[in-house]
Amino acid sequence: MNSLETTKTLASLSDDIATSATHSHEIDTLGYKYASIDVCFEKVAAAGTNSAVALVCKLQHGDTTSSYSDLTGYVGGTSFTIPTPANTSADTVVRFDVDLRGKRRYLRVQATGNATGSVYSVARLGKPEDAPDTASEKGANAAVAG
pLDDT score, position 39? 96
pLDDT > 70 fraction of the chain, expressed in percent and rounded: 92
pLDDT score, position 87? 63
Reference 126, options 36, 27, 1; nearest CA is 36
Q: Is it the case that residue 9 has pLDDT exceeding 90? A: yes
Residue 36: partners with Cβ closer than 8 Å, 6 or more residues away: 95, 96, 97, 98, 123, 124, 126
pLDDT score, position 37? 98
Name the β-bridge partners of 112.
56
Residue 90: partners with Cβ closer than 8 Å, 6 or more residues away: 43
The per-residue pLDDT for range 66-114, each reduced to its tens digit, is 999 999 999 999 999 988 876 667 788 999 999 999 999 999 999 998 8
CA dihedral 28, 32, 33, 37 (to 10 degrees): -50
What mean pLDDT comes out for the span 39-43? Answer: 89
pLDDT score, position 10? 96
pTM: 0.90
Q: How confident is the model at residue 48 (pLDDT cuts 50, 70, 90)?
A: very low
